[in-house]
Structure 1
């Protein structure tokens, strides 16, 4: 596995993103009934926002996951918690496996995403607010150092719902790096200028 990131091209990447977000496993993304044009419009809006960015994660050059980074202070989160300097919001959607699932793959993706976010020295804490019913992502979040803060009410993601109940969770640099083995932590520490 060799992960890299590049900005989403809303039009060129719409077919692959549409094939991911409309599957049942991605129901908490809120786009199960979306058309390809809906995907183009969603990611064009994100690209134009100035406070929200979408990246395609590549595994040896092949699209493997979608990562969004956003400013919590410019999002609905600003109404439900006290945003701190250095907070960065994140959303993650891993593609469906093309063959047999690889044990530990999703954890490796999440570690790569967190390392990418913390590569920016301005990022002090990553903030997530996954659907409170999405137990799989809560387990993954805890593996990389997220600590639950509590359930918050946010605007609906799914058009069939009135609102979203999200599990607001935070992960500091220290909490993330503490979850890594020494082998994984070495490159991450080099990014932040530390020595192990």
Structure 2
């Protein structure tokens, strides 16, 4: 198992960290997460464990896509994916710029929600992406119906560009620059 690829200490919620997904070792956990009704926008609700293994093996082997398991206080609690939108997901669907990186994130379903947790996860994921100096802008394409994530995106500095038709959904294309992210999360990153 690979080690931590990024970590961040949240002043209120503690330690968040990311490590590469182990497609085989993490399959049962990821299957529970991506098939949960709360993860409907992840579009894997009908997947079996074998399909989850196959998907994360495909991502691990892809030269322009990778996935990380997120830990909160050492316990698996979220999933993050990073991709190059010139080669994955948004190919030809928007005006790609040098330094763009695509992102997906999923918080694990829970019966005991923690106030501010999703925002802390998103802040951690963006902090990871912007730690790479070549990244100039993060691009996301959540389903237009996913109003909860639109609000989170706005809170950390995303600007809505507008709807875009993708093969599996109509997405609300949004971008976030390093400067807008830092301005929106200044207190959380200190």
Pick the aligned partner of 1:114 from 126, 132, 135: 126
The count of residues paired between Structure 1 and Structure 2 equals 177
Q: Which residue of 2 is the match for residue 95 of structure 1? A: 108
Q: Evaluate the alpha carbon distance shift between residue 4 and residue 76 of structure 1 in structure 2; reply closer, same or farther with a 3 A threshold.
A: closer
SS at match of 1:38: helix
Alignment of 1:11-22 (within 5 A): 11-22=24-35
Q: Which residue of 2 is the match for residue 177 of structure 1? A: 182
CA offset digits 1:144-167 (Å, max 9, x no partner) = 0001101001121xxxxxxx1000
Pick the aligned partner of 1:166 from 165, 168, 171: 171
Does structure 1 residue 54 correspond to structure 2 residue 67? yes
More strand as a share of residues? 2
Unaligned residue ranges in structure 1 (runs of 5+):
157-163, 187-196
SS at match of 1:114: helix
CA offset digits 1:94-115 (Å, max 9, x no partner) = 0012x52111111111111111
Q: Which residue of 2 is the match for residue 6 of structure 1? A: 19
Q: TM-score, normalised by structure 2?
A: 0.90
Q: Name the CA distance, whole Å, in 1 between partners of 2:141 and 2:107.
A: 17
Q: TM-score, normalised by structure 1?
A: 0.88
Asked if 2 retains the 8 angstrom alpha-carbon contact of 1:152 and 1:166, the reply is: yes
Displaced runs of 4 or more, over 2 A: none
SS at match of 1:31: coil
Deviation at 1:172, TM superposition (A): 0.2
Deviation at 1:180, TM superposition (A): 1.6
Tell me the C-alpha RMSD between the 2 structures: 1.0
Q: Name the CA distance, whole Å, in 2 between partners of 1:75 and 1:29.
A: 16
Does structure 1 residue 127 correspond to structure 2 residue 139? yes
More helix as a share of residues? 1
